[in-house]
Chain A
Amino acid sequence: MRNLVYNYEEAVAVVLFGIGFVTLLFHRNLIKKIIGMNIMDTGVFLFLASMGYVKGGSAPIYAENADFYVNPVPAGLVLTGIVVSVSVTAIMLSLAVRLHQRYGTLNLDEIYRIAREKINER
């Protein structure tokens, strides 16, 4: 457990991931769910970035006065993650826009109720 204190950055990343996960599970509003998903993404990025950190290392760009560099692999992975996160967020938001156009609300319970009413009307 003492390791948890030394690895504080990873621990914070996991807590951030948990906050996003709880937001995703417990909110009924679609926009808030999407925000939770984004917080989860941020936790993953923080985790990856802190895994590659080497204390005292400089950024992975060749320079004459640099002794050693931080790990460049997580930087590339975070780049991939950010791109995927942006794309997924755009698609989720546009789906939310379509749902709002059809049902007039973003609350999931309301959407279920209105969908059931529309079925019963027919």
Chain B
Amino acid sequence: MRIVDRIRRWLSESPDLLEDAGGIGETRDLPREVMRREQHEADRFLSEGAKSFDRKKFRTVYGILAAASAAILIGVLLTAVAALPRYGVENERMDEVADYYIDHALEDTGAVNIVSGMILDYRAFDTLGESFVLFTALNCVLILLRRDEPGEEGEDDYYDLTHDNILRKAGLVMVPSVILFGFYVMLNGHLSPGGGFSGGAVVGAGLILTAAAFGNAVSARIVTEKTFRILSGTALGFYCLAKSYSFYTGANGIESVVPLGTPGSIFSAGLILPLDIAVGIVVSLTMYGIYRMFRKGSLT
């Protein structure tokens, strides 16, 4: 099968990009026998630690050891705190890097917000890893909590808030303003406090509020599994491409082909604005996706 067809099919319905290419696709539906064996393994793993010694004695020893180690840890840390430089006083030796960032961030990155310039330009590769940490966490939650059989939905009707009049009426006002504010925070990351992570968290909260107040049908119309795949794939792919060019131009990623613009205007600071948007998309989708997985066991 051609790769384009494969991607197209993956976007529309198939759960697995490598389906019928051997390997990953086949483990999806485990035979009962394999599943039972794995559960037995888990039981054995959990019970082995418990049966090999006297439980009561273990509890006493554990309590003493735990209290001692906690006390030692806190004591060592408090001693270390007592040896730290004075709180709130600038320390010449400690702040060398910070002084460099504060003095040069505006001309190097074009961002008014020094923290934004730092995390999305000087240390952008680190932030790429961070967004992948979030994405991987969402994937782990997907693997652990995905429910394949439908039919199980009735069990959390108890927590269903869609009949709550107060929440519904407040949601009509809150949802648009929360999501709009989230985009504002996301797009002004290089000018004011905020950025992709905080803005994305606010947008994600807005999506979660939509799902809680208006029910699954409404929120599933805004974010389907297809938009999920397209948006997070595009955002992470764009981030990878935008930052891996520094591998080719040399280790120092600061020189960019994107013009820095006038500091203070919205289209400035080179790649920081698009990267903020990419991070914001990944964060908001991850927040919403984790909520959906815990709530319903599927992304839509």
Contact = CB atoms under 8 A, between A and B. Distances in A.
Contact of B140 (A59, A84, A94, A102): A94
B77 interface: yes
Contacts of A68: 90
A76 B84 contact: no
Centre residue among A71, A82, A118 by max chain B CB count within 10 A: A71
A106 interface: no
Interface string B35-50: 0000110111011011
Contact of A59 (B50, B86, B193): B193
Contacts of A71: 95, 98
B73 A18 contact: yes
A69 B102 contact: yes
Interface in B68-103: 69-70, 73-74, 77-78, 81-84, 86-90, 95, 97-98, 101-102
Contact of B114 (A72, A90, A93, A112): A72
Nearest to A59: B193
A3 B82 contact: yes
Nearest to B76: A14
B298 interface: no
Nearest to B130: A83
A7 B137 contact: no
Interface in A49-63: 50-55, 57, 59-62
B7 interface: no
B143 to A, nearest CB: 9
A78 B279 CA distance: 16
A103 B90 CA distance: 54
Nearest to A10: B81
Given A9-B87, A112-B49, A75 B115 contact: yes
A94 B294 contact: yes
B50 A112 contact: yes
A113 B97 contact: no
Contacts of A97: 144-145, 294
B174 interface: no
Interface string B247-266: 00000000000000001000
A93 B42 contact: no
Contacts of A80: 126, 130
Contacts of B288: none
Given A18-B73, A84-B133, A94 B126 contact: no
Contacts of B47: 112, 115-116, 118-119
6 contacts: A11-B81, A18-B77, A80-B130, A90-B141, A111-B46, A119-B44
Give me the 4 closest cross-chain CB pairs, A-B, nearest first: A87-B137, A55-B88, A112-B50, A115-B46
Interface of B: 39-40, 42-44, 46-47, 49-51, 63, 66, 69-70, 73-74, 77-78, 81-84, 86-90, 95, 97-98, 101-102, 105-106, 112-115, 118-119, 123, 126, 130, 133-134, 136-138, 140-141, 144-145, 192-193, 197, 263, 290, 293-294
